Structure 1
Amino acid sequence: MIAETVCSAVAAAGLGIAAVTAFRRRFLTATRIAAYALIPLGLVMTGVVQWAADTAFSPVAWAGFGVLGGAWLLFTTTRAVERRRGRKGGAAAAAAPHDPVAAQASAPALGPASRTTGKARTKPQATSRGDASDDFSDIEAILKKHGI
């Protein structure tokens, strides 16, 4: 009941400020102030304020927030342990062995010039400054592919 009264008083004060602003011929600002002032009144009329007040003073609601916090804590703890172990432990890891990502998985996105067969590609060593352009041929191919 007090929350509804406070929200109604805030709305009335905001509408009063909007009226003074409109009297000063600043209609756009007055309209914006009136819109902000009507929000608390609308929340009171829809019952959101009563629901929020009932939730804030309800021990069952706070216990529910505690249970949700505990569940979140359990999820984050298991994620941290899983990352620390490297995902090697557990029944799911025993059922399906951990396969690394295939070397050619991202090759289609890079284009045909940079595809490899799984072996490490060796680049020729640049012996002078003139050979440095060979090192950037892959980058140039990607830029040309995208029209840059």
Structure 2
Amino acid sequence: MLIFFLLFLAASAAAAATGIVFKPGNWYEGLTRPGFTPPNWLFPIAWTYLYISVAYATARVAGQDGAQLALALFAVQIALNTLWTPLFFGAHRLGLAMIVLALLWVAVAAMGVAFIGLDLIAGLLVLPYIIWLSLAAALNWRIWRDNPAA
């Protein structure tokens, strides 16, 4: 299981690296953001926890019979996750980022259901990710709505 965990963590690290390349910066600070926006320091902490826990959850299901769909959904969600940051913070394409985030939410929800069918603990480990993505979607939507010129 350790090798699986390290491989899934490496995929997650690639997604996380987009946050290093495409930083929020002055553009983001100048946007109108809703009052429920978490403080900036919370984002790297939350994402670190989520990437580690989802990599662990995926490693739990990886060696099981019938895990193909669950692993394919992991691949889809990590690809969409990797795409969101450059779209939002790099290209400032808030609407397109919202579409990617909606697809990401669906992929993660489906992944969670697939995980629960294989390993209850793995499925439960996906719940914080869904909650965080729900908050991220609300933020993305409000920022897009409240900053039409962005």
What TM-score comes out, normalization by structure 2 length?
0.30
Higher Cα Rg, which structure:
1
| Higher RCO, Cα 8 Å, sep 6+ | 2
